Amino acid sequence: MKKALVLGASGGMGYALVRELIQRDFSVTVFARSKEKLNKLFSRYSEVTIVHGDAFNQKLLAQISENQDIIFHAINLPYGDWQDKLLPLTENILQATKKNNAKLAIVDNIYAYGKHMEAIKETAIKHPHTKKGKLRLQVEKQIMKSNVPYVLAHFPDFFGPYAENTQLNFTLQSVAANKRAWFIGSHHIEREHLFTFDGAKALVNLSLQDKSYGEHWNIPAARPIEGVELIKLIRDLTGYEKNVGTVTTNMLRLLGIFNQHMREFVEMQYLNQHPVILIGEKYEERIGALPRTPYKKALELTLNAYQNGTT
């Protein structure tokens, strides 16, 4: 039986990766800070070993990486910690991977690409113009220089069960609770929202192909979609009748006076004005069909997780 370690297993993409790996008959070690949350998500699975702790504890990280075939890095630090902690965290993970002769599969975003007015392939030149984009590009270079066998997947903003800090989940949480909901950005611009279970399936597929390693991969969503269509699908699924407001950049700036996360979030709002759209033809040519759950089904599964605790 193959073994995998999922770092950041209590987050949305981490949870989806664990579920995908279990279905593929992996023995999975899950790791995150919160023991309570890990137990809630995974205690019913006999294939899962739960370990909680701090990923900056290099000794612990090296210990839980022993005898793992693949390490999945899905840790999502708060924006406010990126400047001081993103590179050291990556170095800890690289050292643990290298020490134990494992492979590394990385969940990444699209920030390093910077602004692009047309849909982009992996060959697009990366000219990040934000602090966070520049940091993500530094991390990419750090990984490439490490001599660790890696696959790095660029994902658009995603949504799904337990993906608490994503834009669409921000809306879905309120809908599930029948509270006034808000949608971040214009309702009339097409953007990509990737369902976490699709992203996890794609990354696991990549991790199992030796030819995937040493490369970056774009994993697009099912399709670009406008907010108005998403909101209609949500209403059709739930019968939600309340007005859905618009969170503007100026509103985020105002909230940022009192909230550091919102302050950091403002910088990335260019993606809600000029969205980066990914082209996934490299994956389709070399790996196979991209996993693409229709939005209605993906929204239903996510809402069920909020309302019933099931997926």
One domain for residues 133 and 248: no
| 118 Cβ neighbours under 8 A, 6+ residues apart | 277
Cross-strand bridge partners of residue 27 = 3
Question: What is the mean predicted confidence (pLDDT) over 204-223?
Answer: 97
Considering the domain architecture, whether residues 78 and 173 belong to the same structural domain is answered as no
pLDDT band at 250 (very low <50, low <70, confident <90, very high): confident
Instruction: Tell whether 35 and 72 lie within a shared domain.
Output: yes
Whether 200 has a pLDDT exceeding 70, the answer reads: yes
At 58 the pLDDT is 94
pLDDT, tens digit (0-9, with 9 covering 90-100), for 87-113: 999 999 999 999 999 999 999 999 999
- Say if 127 falls within a structural domain: yes
Mean pLDDT computed over 57-66? 96
Residues 182 and 96 placed together within one structural domain of the fold: no
Task: Specify whether 175 is located in the same domain as 281.
Answer: no
Q: Give the per-residue pLDDT at 113.
A: 97
Cα distance between residue 52 and residue 164, in whole Å: 19
- Same domain? For 211 and 232 the reply is no
Residues 154 and 233 in one domain: no
Residue 197 lies in a domain: yes
Greater confidence (43 vs 260) lies with 43
Within-domain flag for 299 = no
Q: Are residues 231 and 217 in the same domain?
A: no
Query: Is residue 177 in some structural domain?
Result: yes
Tens of pLDDT, residue by residue over 164-186, are: 889 999 999 999 999 999 999 99
Q: Determine, yes or no, domain membership for 237.
A: yes
* pLDDT grade for 145, boundaries at 50, 70 and 90: very high
Residue 11 burial (CB < 10 Å; 0-12/13-18/19+)? buried
CATH of the domain at 28: 3.40.50.720
pLDDT at 310: 66
State the average pLDDT for the chain: 94
Q: Is residue 30 part of a domain?
A: yes
In a domain, 99, yes or no: yes
Structural domain including 178 reads: 167-188+225-272
Instruction: Tell whether 143 and 45 lie within a shared domain.
Output: yes
User: Is the pLDDT score of 283 beyond 90?
Assistant: yes
Same-domain check for residues 233 and 123: no
Residues 197 and 257 in one domain: no
- Whether 129 and 248 share a structural domain: no
Task: Specify if 29 maps to a domain.
Answer: yes
pLDDT of residue 165: 84
How many structural domains compose the chain? 2
pLDDT of residue 265: 73
